[in-house]
Structure 1
Amino acid sequence: MNAPVFATLGCRLNAYETEAMKELAAAAGLSGAVIVNTCAVTGEAVRKAKQEIRRLSRENPGASIIVTGCAAQTEPETFAAMPEVARVVGNHEKMQAATWQVLAAPDLIGETERVQVDDIMSVRETAGHLIDGFGRHRAYVQVQNGCDHRCTFCIIPFGRGNSRSVPAGVVVEQINRLVDRGFAEVVLTGVDLTSWGADLPGEPRLGDLVRRILKLTSVPRLRISSIDSIEADPALIEAIATEPRLMPHLHLSLQAGDDLILKRMKRRHLREDAIRFCREVRASRPEMVFGADIIAGFPTETETMFQRSLDLVEECGLTFLHVFPFSPRKGTPAARMPQVRGPEINERAARLRALGDRVLGEHLGSQVGRVHRVLTEGVRIGRTEGFAEVAFGADQPEGTILEVRVTGQDGARLLA
């Protein structure tokens, strides 16, 4: 029988969960199926999910298509209506062994419900799945899931549920297992990482988890994925400043540079908070590199307001931009606000991306001639501690950390 095919769309947490699903599917003996782990962050993400399902159906005739992930959780009826789809599975259900045992049964549809999506808001715990299926060099470890905040543009809490934390001991066990298997870098992932611990006894903070990981594991490189800078705790700030094994790269959920837009988004920070955070962190660790999510064309955004987002890139010293053209999500407050015209949204997104290309090129240019510690991810490719991609001119041993001198850059990556 054919092994199942997995396709992952969206965030790093989805990538982690796909690896966990691979192991659950293998243990259940599932075969002859295609599993699509979807994203719902924008309307475009849902459109791409449907496009991917149709493509995979054409390429895998006769396979049963199983759709899961955030889009399946928030819009199960959309995917159940697709003739290509055999089953729709919710975000909680996809991480349960019992779900995969049912999916592996001979009557894939049979007497079971075609749509298996329960109320994600009723879920109170997140299991830390111990997985073995990652690539060879960098692994993602889920430490948190869900979100208690309700940003006006965001559908994700309704796809992921409220915030739940993986206990520190489980996280440490997972990382030690990965280190024993030779992984040189671990990335902590979650939907709202800085809320980690609020639901655990004693209410520890993300900084406490980071310090415990660095104390109880020998992982060479620990990286944090996207955080909400306004919720960074003192222990995390101290770890960033003093722990060389904690990588000098943070991706920030900034979203906009205008205070009124931030308030209409129901964000918890203001423009000056973001600027101050970047300034203070870089003062304590000068090599720190920042990335950020920024939305172009949020409802009611004027050209003047948008200009403040452009200015924020410079004022925060951002290097890696993840630009989202605003896409209204049905059921969110932002979808009911006065909308910016589509062409204006696209034009602003293009300007943000052009600025992103420029600041990335400037950052890469500033690294030429410097020596970097690079984790090789292939014989000709690697990543610096600051997450810049490095292309090697000759083959290198994979999965090792090398000290290399940068000889040039091509606008997107460093050359060595």
Structure 2
Amino acid sequence: MSGHVVSLGCRLNIAESEAISGFLAEGPPTVVVNSCAVTAEAVRQSRRAVRRLRRENPEARLVVTGCAATIEQDAFAAMAEVDAVVPNSEKLKPETWTDNSVRSNSTTSTRHTRAFVPVQNGCDHACTFCIIPQGRGSSVSLRKSEVIQAIERHGGVNEVVLTGVDVTSWGADLPGAPSLGDLVAAILHAFPALPRLRLSSLDGVEIDPLLFDLITQEPRVMPHVHLSLQSGNDMVLKRMKRRHSRHDAIDLVQRMKAKRPEIALGADLIAGFPTETPEMHADNVSIVRECAVVHGHVFPYSLRPGTPAARMPQVDPGLVRERAALVRAEVAEQRGKWLQSLLGTPAQVLAERDGTGHAGHFATYRVPEGTPVGSLVTVTPTKIVEGILE
């Protein structure tokens, strides 16, 4: 092992970690923690990862990068386990990781059956709970040609996932301000043999008409839409400085499913946001039911120093955990009904390394023994075992 990268947090970090792994391929033994700062708990997990990896790799050089290392650079540099800290602005420069040779910025995946392709970085918004813009900076988009070249480097994978900090803002900083729909259409045109294109988390208010049409009408765009909802209550959304209302979210989901009923909805939701009342929490639970959220990322609110939300009246931490558990329970109920509805229906599944795989709507299936990793296979499930369709 010349280089080992541990990635925490978002899909963009996963894609960037793959690039860093390529830079480390021929260098001295190095362990890299690609940290996350989306919540205070994420920062704590990053610190724990640093300590654990130092114990497991006492002779290796240990480097910390990512959002937590960028926002709290001095604190990570002061850790006895850390040899160096690399801010986000430097982590995708080959010369950061190599002394004498510069390798191409390849993001070819060596650990995943699908290709994670970053198309955008940074964020121009100011959600009151989020510190990520401080770690990532303003939104910067890759040009269409750069995205297409990045996909070409993956060499014929069966699924490409477009990632970023605020993916739906792609193009706003480019000449002519193209939309994400323009980019998706260009990818589908450039790679007519690509069977599956998946999108990471989307901001519903930024879904342009072309993107809406592609999501709801193009079979090669996966019927798996993950929305950055954050809350189901209008007052909480206002205090978060989100740009959509509860009605906006529900209307978008209804319009999508009217055109493509098989769409499976995912959502990010925060439980126990400052000032949240029992009635506001009830709206958080009910939007899961109204939108049939089956892929839920439910976060108990975690106070993040340096954000406006940290200065708001806080909800008791125990109550925050209780509310998060109730939102997760509603997601689990919706997911259970959805999985039952998939029994007996054939699905095309992308085989992974552990004997399972994901269908287009991102349900997990057991694949036949011996199925090549990264290949597509049709599975007709007859039962559900521990959340896996078999």
Q: Report the TM-score when normalising by structure 2.
A: 0.96
Q: Which amino acid aligns with 1:139?
A: A
Who is 2:332 aligned against?
357
Contact 2:2-2:29 at 8 Å conserved across structures: yes
Q: Displacement, 1:98?
A: 2.2
Q: Deviations over 1:138-194 (max 9, x none)?
A: 11000000000000000001111100001011111222332xx23100000000011
Of 202, 211, 219, which aligns to 1:244? 219
Q: Secondary structure at the match of 1:290?
A: strand
Contact 2:129-2:304 at 8 Å conserved across structures: yes
Q: Which amino acid aligns with 1:322?
A: H
Distance 2:105 2:235 in 1: 41
Structure 1: segments with no counterpart, 5+ residues? 105-127
Who is 2:168 aligned against?
194
Q: Displacement, 1:65?
A: 1.3
For residues 396-415 of structure 1, the aligned pairs below 5 Å read 396-415=371-390
Who is 2:146 aligned against?
170
Contact 1:39-1:46 at 8 Å conserved across structures: yes
For residues 327-346 of structure 1, the aligned pairs below 5 Å read 327-346=302-321
CA distance 1:361–1:411, shift in 2 (3 Å) = farther
Distance 1:145 1:235 in 2: 22
1:101 corresponds to 2:101: no
Of 110, 117, 121, which aligns to 1:145? 121
Q: Secondary structure at the match of 2:165?
A: coil
Q: Displacement, 1:399?
A: 2.0
Q: Secondary structure at the match of 2:273?
A: coil
Q: Displacement, 1:398?
A: 2.5
Who is 1:50 aligned against?
47
1:209 corresponds to 2:208: no
Contact 1:360-1:412 at 8 Å conserved across structures: no
Q: Displacement, 1:379?
A: 6.7
CA distance 1:12–1:136, shift in 2 (3 Å) = closer
Distance 2:320 2:354 in 1: 40
Distance 2:351 2:59 in 1: 39
Q: Displacement, 1:88?
A: 0.8
CA distance 1:20–1:386, shift in 2 (3 Å) = same
For residues 46-195 of structure 1, the aligned pairs below 5 Å read 46-102=43-99, 129-135=105-111, 137-178=113-154, 181-195=155-169
Q: Displacement, 1:381?
A: 1.0
Q: Secondary structure at the match of 1:373?
A: strand
Q: Deviations over 1:362-385 (max 9, x none)?
A: 110110011111111137211111
Distance 1:393 1:376 in 2: 9
Distance 1:364 1:65 in 2: 42
Contact 1:294-1:323 at 8 Å conserved across structures: yes
Q: Which amino acid aligns with 2:199?
A: I
Q: Deviations over 1:332-378 (max 9, x none)?
A: 00000000000000100111112222111111011001111111113
Q: Which amino acid aligns with 1:177?
A: R
Distance 1:175 1:265 in 2: 35
Distance 1:363 1:35 in 2: 39
Distance 2:105 2:273 in 1: 37
CA distance 1:11–1:195, shift in 2 (3 Å) = same
1:16 corresponds to 2:19: no
Contact 1:300-1:340 at 8 Å conserved across structures: yes
Distance 1:185 1:147 in 2: 26
Moved more, 367-376 or 394-403: 394-403
Q: Deviations over 1:16-75 (max 9, x none)?
A: 00111112223xx43122111000011111111111111111111122211000000111
Q: Secondary structure at the match of 2:296?
A: strand
Q: Let me know the Cα RMSD of the aligned residues.
A: 1.6
Q: Secondary structure at the match of 2:160?
A: strand
Alignment length, in residue pairs? 387
Q: Displacement, 1:129?
A: 4.0
Who is 1:347 aligned against?
322
Contact 1:369-1:406 at 8 Å conserved across structures: yes
Q: Which amino acid aligns with 1:43?
A: A
Who is 1:7 aligned against?
6
Q: Displacement, 1:137?
A: 2.5
1:304 corresponds to 2:279: yes
Q: Secondary structure at the match of 2:352?
A: strand
Q: Which amino acid aligns with 2:22?
A: E
Who is 2:241 aligned against?
266
Who is 2:294 aligned against?
319
